[in-house]
Amino acid sequence: MIPPRLALVAFGFLLSGLMSLIVSFVATFRATGLIDGFIGVWLSAWLASWLVALPTVLVVAPMVRRFVERNTKKPA
C-alpha cells in the first residue's frame, strides 16, 4: 500500500506515465506510420516525454487544483 502522504506523488506518477504513453504513441504513429522498429521509436519518445511530464504534473497539478477550486461554485 502507498502511504497517504505519497498519494499525490503516486497520482502524478501514474497520470503522467499513462498520458505521456498515449500521447507519444499517437504522435509517433502520426510522424512515422507503422514502420519497422516502431515500438522502439515509440518507447524512446515515451521515456523522453515522461521525463518532462512527471515534474510538470507534480508542479502544475496543485496550481490547477487551486485555480479550479477558486473558480467553482460551492454547493449551497
Residue 49 lies inside a defined structural domain of this protein: yes
Instruction: Please tell me the total count of domains within the chain.
Output: 1
Query: Tens digits of per-residue pLDDT, 35-55?
Result: 999 999 999 999 999 999 999
Q: What is the pLDDT along the chain (76 residues), one digit of tens a residue?
A: 889 999 989 999 999 999 999 999 999 999 999 999 999 999 999 999 999 999 999 999 999 999 999 999 988 8
Domain of 46?
Answer: 26-56
Residue 8 lies in a domain: no
Residue 48 domain-assigned (yes or no): yes
Q: What is the pLDDT of residue 60?
A: 94
Q: pLDDT value at position 75?
A: 85
Residue 30 resides in a domain:
yes
CA distance 38 to 35: 5
- Residue 47 resides in a domain: yes
**Residue 16: inside a domain, yes or no?**
no
DSSP labels, the chain = ---GGGHHHHHHHHHHHHHHHHHHHHHHHHHH-S-TTHHHHHHHHHHHHHHHHHHHHHHHHHHHHHHHHHTSPPP-
pTM of the model: 0.80
